[in-house]
Amino acid sequence: MSVPSFQLGSRKLVAALLTAGVLGGVGASALQHVQWSAHAQGAPAVMAQSAPAAAPMVSLPNFTAITQQAGPAVVNISVRGTRKVSDDEDDGDDADAAPSANRGQQVDPNDPMQQFFRQFGFGVPQQGMPRGFGRQVPQEVPMAGEGSGFIISPDGTILTNAHVVKGAKTVTVKLTDRREFKAKVLGSDPKTDIAVIKIDAKDLPVAKIGDSKTIQQGEWVLAIGSPFGFENSVTAGVVSAKGRALPDDSSVPFIQTDVAINPGNSGGPLINARGEVVGINSQIYSKSGGYQGLSFAIPIDLAVNIKDQIVSHGKVDHARLGVVIQEVNQAFADSFKLPKPEGALVASVEKGGPADKAGLQPGDVITGYNGQAIVSSNDLPAAIATARPGTKAELQVWRSGKATSVQATLGGNVSKGEQVAGNEKVGKGKLGLALRELTPQEKRASGSQQGLIVEQAAGPAALAGVQPGDVVLSVNGAAVNGIEDLRKQVSQSDKSVALLIERNGQKIFVPVQLG
């Protein structure tokens, strides 16, 4: 199983985001208020002074009943196949093994611009050697792995994770009654990590599908799966958070739980206290390769949407807006005069795409989608992930210091959809840029009539990642056609400016704090 990785928290500590199914569960203690009484000889009993009202009793769900009800519909999935590896990859056969983070080309963790441009396809040469030096041609190696799934129809339709069956030549499903069947993959969607497989059987036990929209933070949930091949293992915990966006380009509003999940749980069900499936265990966040209290499940509502498309059409068509967005930090909020550092900052708009047709512009901050608040930039692609192409969307937008709204019609699949740019660090001091206007030849080459080219970068601009050769297109959302335009915008800014930078055809906003 391929395992994506990402960085959270300190950039010095890299943690792997493992593709391993999870299911949240239970963890609480019942508190009983005890009233003490004091007895004096010849006097009636007196209650303890100022005793508070008794706390309500809390009981644990019946995990035995839930397991007996839902367990027979959970299956073990084993796969065999091959995958391509190069010299910078592990070639172990554990499909749920954790790979080392940041393989291949090395990226300076303290250089956010370098990380951003690598994300969008611009490789970074390894230190001390030219790009491609010492690399071998990718080779096919045997692959074997195990995962989990659950039956959703009596005739053998099963839901699991796409990464469980990725690259599989053969897929074998084992039921709780120990019968085994060869399965056919009806379709998979790597973007949401959902796959649908089918076995030739009838009168099978079926998992009860719930409503993931109704689950609440702190609610008890249960996971059943095959961690490390230990079939029909049950673990429990609570829902830690809802709508959690992860920096893995999946656009899934994950359910976060604290249930004990490990490799092999992938594709298994997340079950509530009523025995209903509310999610599909998909990923864990770990520094060790094993469970560390952070597990993520795909909401069942989204999974059923994807399943319906696969069963009906054999493929999935995702909605898209056609923008590249960035996180809004405090420096951006100051630059764009936002009340709070919330929303999705539009760095660039796909020409002719849905956002372009709707009138969205670089520098707009999307603060709402169909009435749903966009707090983190990842909230936007997560919201769009549940929509179909052609859906009408009302976007709440912050533009030029004022709130407005934009009507857009979401488009269909393209190669890149909504992308999220990395956060940029800033330093204190002067702007630190030496700039000049573009020559006519440079304007023709770039296809733009505006912008200033960076001759030298120092101070806070350099710390923010601006480099010689970058083109400054706008300041705080206002187009820059000359040096005076830039000076005017900088003079009107209090704490920081947001520079729209173009490098190698890619655009990103960079916040630069002013001294």
Q: Are the C-beta atoms of residues 254 and 285 closer than 8 Å to each other? A: no
What the block records as the tokens of 160 is 């699991």
Q: Is 318 annotated as a binding residue?
A: no
Q: Name which of 78, 15, 8, 12 is nearest 290 in CA terms.
A: 15
**Which position among 226, 266, 286, 493 bears the catalytic label?**
266
Element (H, E) at 443: helix 440-446
Give burial (CB, 10 Å; 0-12/13-18/19+) of 479.
Answer: middle
Q: Is 266 annotated as a binding residue?
A: yes
- Displacement of CA 383 from its chain's centroid (Å): 12
Answer left, alpha or beta for residue 49, where phi above 0 means left and psi between -120 and 50 means alpha: beta
Q: Are the C-beta atoms of residues 160 and 267 closer than 8 Å to each other? A: yes
How far is it, in rounded angstroms, from Cα 194 to Cα 198? 14
Element (H, E) at 154: none
Would you call 193 a catalytic residue per the annotation?
yes
What the block records as the tokens of 29 is 């203690």
What the block records as the tokens of 194 is 């959902």
Q: Is 265 annotated as a binding residue?
A: yes
45 Cβ contact list (under 8 Å, min separation 6):
37, 38, 39
Would you call 163 a catalytic residue per the annotation?
yes
User: How distant, in Å, are the alpha carbons of 45, 49, 103, 410, 444 from that of 2?
Assistant: 68, 62, 13, 30, 43
**Which position among 193, 249, 334, 470 bears the catalytic label?**
193
How far is it, in rounded angstroms, from Cα 271 to Cα 208? 9
Q: Is 39 annotated as a binding residue?
A: no
Would you call 266 a catalytic residue per the annotation?
yes
Q: Are the C-beta atoms of residues 312 and 292 closer than 8 Å to each other? A: no
223 Cβ contact list (under 8 Å, min separation 6):
21, 22, 23, 24, 25, 234, 235, 236, 237, 257, 259, 260, 261, 265, 268, 269, 270, 271, 281, 295
Backbone φ and ψ of 301, nearest 5°: -60, -45
**Which position among 163, 286, 335, 364 bears the catalytic label?**
163
Q: Is 356 annotated as a binding residue?
A: no
Dihedral sign from CA coordinates of 271, 275, 278, 279: positive
Annotated binding-site members for substrate:
163, 193, 264-266
Q: Active-site residues: which are they?
A: 163, 193, 266
